[in-house]
């Protein structure tokens, strides 16, 4: 099956790009894609260009056979699982950069990360030729970068963001959760407890960014194994810093629990 042939037949293609080690969050994306498209393509690729030199590329969890078993019941039509040499053949030197949206938050903590994300997503879009692409809102900044890139470069693809899928205790599902020891897994709830506290403060009338950030930080500062990378309140569209909640803003956080870096977010509305 060639994507170009599918498009020529008038059928709608949806792509769900992942790095594998699928969990219910990924499967939710696949089911949503199945509901809207004639052909659903799952991509599984641990993209080396979005990892820094001291990050977890070599030990990132992988289970391609298990992933395909999990994906099959969702009705996926095709799985594209290239290796790094196929995606980045010798001599590759072209990168895609989304400048301002990629600077703060994870962009400041992980220099070059979003250049790798934008580049691999561009390549996957060209290879799969989708009408629709599905991404989770847990990676809020990534979703913003991809939306802006898609619009700026006139890809003509609808980017669909899907709500965060959480465990029973509120922890956002993530492939990296497998790294957590039982003790650290219990402390990982500090992120969602911080988000809940800030949202409760907004419901109580609080609008000061400093106060909301203090509410969000408190549970993480109280968790012995937690170390805050960043907790920031940013405009929901432009990711610029805000001092007072006057329009929708994203409360975004990255927190190390033990050695595992976890991210989460909540859009707060005045």
Please say whether the beta carbons of 189 and 164 come within 8 A: no
Please say whether the beta carbons of 50 and 17 come within 8 A: no
The dihedrals phi and psi of 37, each to the nearest 5 degrees, come to: -125, 160
Whole-model pTM?
0.96
**For 216-242, how does the pLDDT look when each residue is reduced to its tens digit (9 = 90+)?**
999 999 999 999 999 999 999 999 999
CATH number, domain 3-162: 3.40.50.620
Q: Which residues of the chain have pLDDT under 70?
A: 1
What is the separation of C-alpha 108 from the centre of its chain, rounded to a whole number of angstroms? 16
Decide yes or no: CATH 3.90.1150.10 for domain 175-268: no
Q: State the chain's mean pLDDT as an integer.
A: 97
Any idea where the domains of the chain sit in the sequence?
A: 3-162, 175-268
Q: Which residues are catalytic?
A: 26
**Partners of residue 246 on adjacent β-strands:** none
Please say whether the beta carbons of 20 and 57 come within 8 A: no
The dihedrals phi and psi of 69, each to the nearest 5 degrees, come to: -65, -40
Helix count (H) and strand count (E) of the chain? Answer: 10, 8
């Amino acid at each position: 099956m060639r994507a170009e042939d599918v498009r020529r037949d008038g059928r709608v293609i949806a792509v769900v790009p992942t790095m594998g080690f699928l969990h219910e969050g990924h499967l939710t994306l696949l089911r949503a894609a199945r509901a809207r498209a004639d052909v659903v393509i799952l991509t599984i690729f641990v993209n080396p260009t979005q990892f820094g030199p001291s990050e977890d590329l070599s030990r990132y969890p992988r289970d391609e056979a298990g992933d395909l078993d999990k994906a099959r019941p969702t009705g996926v039509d095709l799985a594209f699982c290239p290796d790094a040499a196929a995606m980045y053949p010798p001599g590759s030197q072209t990168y895609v950069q989304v400048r301002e949206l990629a600077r703060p938050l994870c962009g400041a903590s992980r220099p070059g990360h979003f250049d790798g994300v934008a580049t691999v997503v561009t390549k996957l879009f060209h290879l799969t030729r989708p009408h629709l692409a599905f991404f989770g809102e847990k990676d809020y900044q990534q979703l913003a970068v991809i939306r802006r890139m898609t619009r700026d470069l006139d890809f003509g693809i609808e980017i669909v963001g899907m709500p965060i899928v959480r465990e029973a205790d509120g922890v956002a599902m993530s492939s990296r959760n497998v790294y957590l020891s039982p003790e650290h897994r219990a402390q990982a709830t500090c992120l969602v407890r911080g988000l809940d506290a800030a949202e409760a403060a907004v419901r109580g009338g609080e609008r000061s960014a400093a106060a909301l950030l203090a509410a969000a930080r408190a549970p993480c500062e109280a968790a012995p194994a937690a170390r805050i990378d960043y907790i920031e309140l940013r405009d929901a569209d432009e990711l610029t810093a805000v001092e007072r909640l006057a329009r929708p803003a994203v409360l975004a956080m990255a927190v190390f629990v033990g050695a595992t870096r976890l991210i989460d977010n909540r859009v707060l509305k005045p």
